[in-house]
């Protein structure tokens, strides 16, 4: 068994949850600027998430739910997850994004990850509080990957990490196989392979003997 850890926003999904939320809160430009700075490693992920969450404070719960309903998986992502699970692998989503959006997108495609490690935007009185909480704000994805591998009894050499942005760097650096999904410039040097579609990712996993050849 291998442990396959996916980033979500920008990797499994081409939706950006904070953008969908920001559009409804009327702060899309401000949020986009903060996101770009974080993805290019100009701002720590924690700082960027706290700043974006603060901008989203006051957004009503029905608008939040509607935004999460718009989150979708990339073409071929659901099928790839199914193939990995059918081959006996453990599929994890390690994301600084939000668990409600991840679970909603997966459920719409009729699939589920074996583990989801994600953050949350708390609500109070029917609106977002402007705060953020969860394991991947201050915590990093290398620690999350190592802890999950330890729990499952999987050697780090048998882990695969797939991501695109600066906050994926820690897990890409420690994984047995690091795959960049249209990675940012700061991420590309640590990648063993770079892909631009779920189809190509499947082919890479086949070439490394992780995934059985598709029919």
Burial class (CB in 10 A: 0-12, 13-18, 19+), 146: middle
The strand pair at 127-128 and 123-124 is best described as: antiparallel
Of 87, 61, 80, the closest CA to residue 13 belongs to 80
User: What phi and psi, each to the nearest 5 degrees, are found at residue 90?
Assistant: -95, 120
Quick check: is 29 catalytic? no
- 9 in catalytic set: yes
Q: How far is CA 39 from CA 35, 36, 153, 180, 187, in A?
A: 6, 5, 32, 14, 9
**What are the φ/ψ torsions at residue 177 (nearest 5 degrees)?**
-135, 125
**Could you tell me the CA-to-CA distances from 16 to 23, 116, 124, 126, 130 in Å, in that order?**
11, 17, 23, 23, 18
Of 7, 142, 164, 168, which one is the catalytic site residue? 7
The token pair that represents 51 in the structure block: 């700043």
Which distant-in-sequence residues (6+ apart) come within 8 Å of 29 by Cβ? Answer: none
Catalytic annotation, residues: 7, 9
């Amino acid at each position: 068994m291998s442990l396959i850890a996916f980033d979500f926003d920008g990797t499994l999904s081409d939706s950006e949850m904070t953008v969908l939320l920001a559009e409804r809160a009327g702060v899309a430009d401000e949020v986009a600027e903060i996101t770009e700075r974080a993805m290019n490693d100009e701002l720590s992920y924690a700082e960027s998430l706290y700043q974006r969450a603060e901008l989203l404070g006051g957004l009503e719960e029905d608008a939040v739910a509607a935004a999460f309903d718009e989150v979708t998986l990339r073409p071929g992502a659901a099928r790839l997850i199914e193939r990995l699970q059918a081959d006996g692998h453990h599929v994890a989503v390690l994301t600084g994004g939000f668990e409600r959006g991840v679970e909603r997108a997966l459920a719409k495609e009729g699939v589920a990850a074996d583990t989801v490690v994600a953050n949350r935007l708390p609500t109070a009185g029917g609106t977002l509080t402007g705060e953020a909480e969860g394991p991947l704000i201050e915590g990093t994805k290398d620690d999350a990957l190592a802890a999950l591998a330890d729990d499952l009894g999987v050697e780090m050499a048998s882990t695969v990490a797939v991501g695109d942005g600066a906050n994926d760097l820690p897990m890409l650096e420690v994984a047995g196989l690091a795959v960049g999904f249209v990675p940012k410039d700061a991420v590309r040097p640590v990648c063993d392979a770079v892909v631009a579609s779920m189809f190509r990712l499947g082919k890479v996993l086949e070439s490394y003997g992780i995934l059985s050849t598709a029919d």
